[in-house]
Structure 1
Amino acid sequence: MTAARRLSLVTDEVHPPGPKVKTGSLRVAIATQDMKSLNAHFGSAKRFAVYDVTSDDWNFVEAVAFEDVSDESGKHRTEGDDRITPKVEALKGCHLLFCLAIGGPSAAKVISAKIHPIKVPQPQSIENVLSRTRTMLRTAPPPWLRKVLAEAGATEKKSFEDED
């Protein structure tokens, strides 16, 4: 089984183990090979950069690293080798997952963990992904993001009829 290594920021706050989601923010995971860009498929990502994003800013939370990853075709090296479940377990608590691609079975596992996968057509900087997410939060979020925000407790639930 693939084990995840975590690098988390330590603050002066006393809290239980594991990074706690900041109230009013979305926890975002970004599939990356180099911690600089969104540049990996979900199954082949060696790392996930995790940030808390609000409409005003973003903060790095942790990096989760995996040594034993699938190749970009999604094929496992040995039959029955599950490299997806440990990744999903390590990302629990995230609201959004940005990646270049994700297969159907992996997407189903991610969604069942209450993480919304977002496929991005080409590589881009992590800063650009975070900036676009922040802009979406600041302006009128699309319906799928409003649902994620409501589930995350980041906003009050508003009926679509209340909007003008």
Structure 2
Amino acid sequence: MLKLAFASDDRVRVNQHFGAAQAFVIYTVTPNGATVSGFGEFPEEAMDGNENKLLAKVDFLAGCDAVFVHAIGASAIKQLLAKGVQPIRVGEVDSIDELIKDVSQAMQTGGVPWIDRALAAQSRAAGPDRFAAMEAEGWEG
């Protein structure tokens, strides 16, 4: 399962610059589909000269595996990566539904580095407890 955010003012397409984004929609994505799991709105702010505007957005996105944006500055990239959130720049006309389908498919087939890393980190985080759970279910190796 991946938690993905999309900078969007219409919840249909990625159409916002990260620093000036007025809204993010968050989806929980599995190889079989996705569900909306959150939405955040932010006041309109000037794009340049206000680094503090990034903090609330970065904090809101903590816990997400990736954020899809139309554009993003170097400072925001650095702050997101420090929180473990992979920024992904896409075209302004990119449909959220199409991006989710692409991610779901990549979760099944592999080969997309940031997705593979996020899923591997989740497996490592599950740790030895996942083996105990499999044993309790009757799994045999």
Aligned to 1:27: 3
Q: Is the 8 A contact 1:51 1:59 kept in 2?
A: yes
Aligned to 2:132: none
Aligned to 2:12: 36
Aligned to 1:48: 24
What's the TM-score, normalizing by structure 2?
Answer: 0.81
Deviation at 1:155, TM superposition (A): 9.4
- Listed one character per residue, the Cα deviations across residues 24-50 of structure 1 (whole Å, up to 9, x for unaligned) are x10000011222211111111111010
Q: Is the 8 A contact 2:16 2:92 kept in 1?
A: no
Aligned to 2:45: 69
Identity %: 26
What's the TM-score, normalizing by structure 1?
Answer: 0.70
Deviation at 1:81, TM superposition (A): 5.3
- Bigger proportion of residues as helix: 2
Partners in 2 of 1:27 and 1:61 — Cα distance? 8
2:79 aligned with 1:109: yes
Structure 1: state its 5+ residue gaps. Answer: 1-24, 158-164
Partners in 2 of 1:141 and 1:156 — Cα distance? 22
Aligned to 2:55: 85
Choose the corresponding residue for 1:140, options 87, 110, 127.
110
Structure 2: state its 5+ residue gaps. Answer: 128-141
Deviation at 1:70, TM superposition (A): 3.5
Deviation at 1:96, TM superposition (A): 0.8
- Name the count of aligned residue pairs: 127
Partners in 2 of 1:31 and 1:144 — Cα distance? 18
Partners in 1 of 2:45 and 2:98 — Cα distance? 25
Cα distance change, pair 145–154 in 1 and its aligned pair in 2 (3 A): farther
SS of 2:19 mapped into structure 1: coil
Cα distance change, pair 94–70 in 1 and its aligned pair in 2 (3 A): farther
Aligned to 1:125: 95
Aligned to 1:3: none
